[in-house]
Amino acid sequence: MLNLTGKNALVTGIANNRSIAWGIAQQLHKAGANLGITYLADEKGRHERKVAELVEPLNPSLYLPCNVQDDAEIQTTFDTIRDKWGKLDILIHCLAFAGKDELSGDFSNTSRKGFTQALEISAYSLVQLSAAAKPLMTEGGSILTLTYLGGVRVVPNYNVMGIAKAALEMNVRYLAAELGPQNIRVNGISSGPIRTLASSAVGGILDMIHHVEKIAPLRRTVTQIEVGNTAAFLCSDLASGITGQIVYVDAGYEIMGM
């Protein structure tokens, strides 16, 4: 049965109690995993304190700042994991960013800086974190990222994030091929739209959610906990034969043509 006891899991991307990463962290904890949580530090340390308060019930044994645009911070994070845990079993990558002006209007107006930034933070970061995790996954492991249908099909306004998710999904396949011989599995979950801090900053997210509620086979959207349950499965030995895959957790929306 689903059991993650004895497994060390690093979870990135928790911003608040609506974060998909928060749903994943809760379900990994429920399955018995030992958690490490990373956060994006801000100048005043407000974010650090808010996320710390949120995750406290999950008793994380590591709590570290990790900005993927800062190589030194990544190095410190993984050095600490080596020192405190000795090995890493699970890496959860829930990071994405594009400039707000890149997420509306004509895609062809995407700036060089906007394109580079979106791909660096949303796609390259998986390569970077996987490289850092690889030497610590001495007993095999599971790497999981979050993607979205906009990386495979055109979703209005998703724009450069779609290109970043397409790159991210291909990163999953290349990493799975490289790391498979070390028994490290790499997969993605393609979540349906959920109201989170990131999505609520986007105009029209409620209309998109209402559209999904009309069209998806299950006639509803999914929750962070449902994504968390699939994440716990994919990171567990129950999924020992699954790697390089993108699993849709979207109430079936992706199958529909009309």
Query: Would you call 50 helix, strand, or coil by DSSP?
Result: helix
Element of type H or E holding 34: strand 34-39
> Binding residue for ligand 0WE (CB under 6 A) from 201, 206, 215, 218?
201
Q: Under the criterion CB under 6 A, does residue 163 sit at the interface with ligand 0WE?
A: no
Tokens at 36, concatenated: 């490490």
| 158 catalytic per annotation | yes
For residues 85 and 83, give the distance between their C-alpha atoms in angstroms, rounded to a whole number: 6
> Binding residue for ligand 0WE (CB under 6 A) from 103, 137, 168, 189?
103
Tokens at 116, concatenated: 């580079």
Q: Which of 158, 174, 248, 253 is catalytic?
A: 158
Q: Under the criterion CB under 6 A, does residue 69 sit at the interface with ligand 0WE?
A: no
Span of 28-36, 181-189, 191-199, 226-234 interacting with ligand 0WE by CB under 6 A = 191-199
| 148 catalytic per annotation | yes
Q: Is the dihedral of CA 118, 121, 126, 127 positive or negative?
A: positive
Element of type H or E holding 78: helix 71-85
Minimum CB separation of residue 161 from ligand 0WE in Å reads 5
Considering beta carbons, is residue 17 or 199 the nearer one to ligand 0WE? 199
- x/- mask, ligand 0WE, residues 114-143, rule CB under 6 A, reads ------------------------------
Assess contact for 167 and 150: CB atoms under 8 A: no
Distances (CA, A) of 105 to 113, 115, 130, 210, 254: 16, 14, 33, 21, 24
Q: How long, in residues, is the chain?
A: 258
Considering beta carbons, is residue 28 or 96 the nearer one to ligand 0WE? 96
By the criterion CB under 6 A, which residues form the site for ligand 0WE? 96-98, 100, 103, 148, 155, 157-158, 161, 193, 198-199, 201-202, 208
Catalytic residue numbers?
148, 158
